[in-house]
Amino acid sequence: MLVAMSEQPTGRGEWTRSGAFEVAAGVHRVPLPLPNDGLRAVNVYVLDGADGADGGLVLVDSGWSIPEARDLLVAALDSLGHSLRDVRRFLVTHVHRDHYTQAVAIRRELGTSVALGIGERDSLDITMNPERMPLQQQLAALRAMGARDLADFLDAQIAGHERPAHRSDWELPDEWLSEGDLDAAGRTLSVVPTPGHTRGHVVFHDLGNALLFAGDHVLPTITPSIGFEPVLSPNPLGDFLASLALVRSRPDARLLPAHGPVTDSAHARIDELVAHHGGRLDETEHAVAAGASTAYDVARQLRWTRRLRTLDALDPFNQMLAIAETGAHLQLLAAQGRVTAKDDDGLRRYAV
């Protein structure tokens, strides 16, 4: 049995241990496992409306729809004196599987309301298509970025797996969220659209209690992937940096991220993220100046992760993420006039 606990300072990786951890009055963090994922866990936040509301719960994000995640969510709610039937609403920061799909599964069983940012509509429509093989739009973009061999390898891997016979994990939400305030278990949350990681990403800012439910927009130890979704913005990194500036312009708040431990200041981490991408833009421009012409070429010149690995040292999926993010940096450099871009026989090439 899990026991609800007050949030304790955690060392590296300890934020993933199971439980229900109080991060503020009426708010508990529940880490749920991810299958075969380097992120290891996703934080679901339980908002308890017992004081002044109807006693129902609101959950920010939901986890990946796998049995282990459901069992741990049930156990965490039980430690708080609740069950899944007490959950009135899921507020989902973005449409990625580790945030959205368990909400869909629980809604099928219990009728719980699910809300998602309106900017996710186009990508969700594509993902819901039963005839679509996974990652087809992303693989097409990968080929245009010069990584045809990698795209062909991943395409073959996908084709070699039978499609699951069970019902799709993907459905439309009950409510599309846009900018504005909403009531969540007796507290007011401001919905702030923060495109970048995905086009429809939103964060929930509890101004009254100085809390930011940040999803993947602001993460305390890593940077969110940029440029990897079925329907891409023309300038996803530009969108992300503008979204960071928007959140930075709002009052500071305790950072409640989807991956990693809670930290005291969203502003402090935003400043680090902006500085990181500024340096990465310079490195990308220098690689183009040295002769790299495609996103794939540039990504091979850069180093990845804290261990400063080469692109070839990453597994194929993370190679794809790295190349997509490099493409997003190149798009922003082109928008800033620091490099030029042109299409050449199906490839997007850059020059200074």
Query: Domain spanning 4-133+173-265 has what CATH number?
Result: 3.60.15.10
Angle at 297 between CA 291 and CA 300, to 5 degrees: 115
* DSSP three-state, residue 204: strand
Rg (CA), the chain: 20
Encode pLDDT of 269-302 as tens digits. 999 999 999 999 999 999 999 999 999 999 999 9
Dist. CA 35–CA 109, nearest whole Å: 22
Which residues of the chain form beta strands (DSSP E)? 4-6, 20-24, 27-33, 41-48, 57-60, 87-92, 113-117, 175-177, 180-184, 187-193, 202-206, 211-215, 254-257, 340-344, 347-351
- Three-state SS for 77? helix
Cα three-residue angle 141-40-33, rounded to 5 degrees = 110
pLDDT in tens, 9-55: 455 678 999 999 999 999 999 999 998 767 889 999 999 975 444 56
Show pLDDT as tens, one digit a residue, over the chain (352 residues). Answer: 454 565 554 556 789 999 999 999 999 999 999 987 678 899 999 999 754 445 699 999 999 999 999 999 999 999 999 999 999 999 999 999 999 999 999 999 999 999 999 999 999 999 898 877 788 889 999 999 999 999 999 999 887 664 544 447 899 999 999 999 999 999 999 999 999 999 999 999 999 999 999 999 999 999 999 998 988 899 999 999 999 999 999 999 999 999 999 999 999 999 999 999 999 999 999 999 999 999 999 999 999 988 999 999 999 999 999 999 999 999 999 999 999 999 999 999 999 9
pTM: 0.93
Tokens of 67: 């049995």
| Third-level CATH fold of 136-163+274-351 | Arc Repressor Mutant, subunit A (1.10.10)
Domain boundaries, the chain: 4-133+173-265, 136-163+274-351
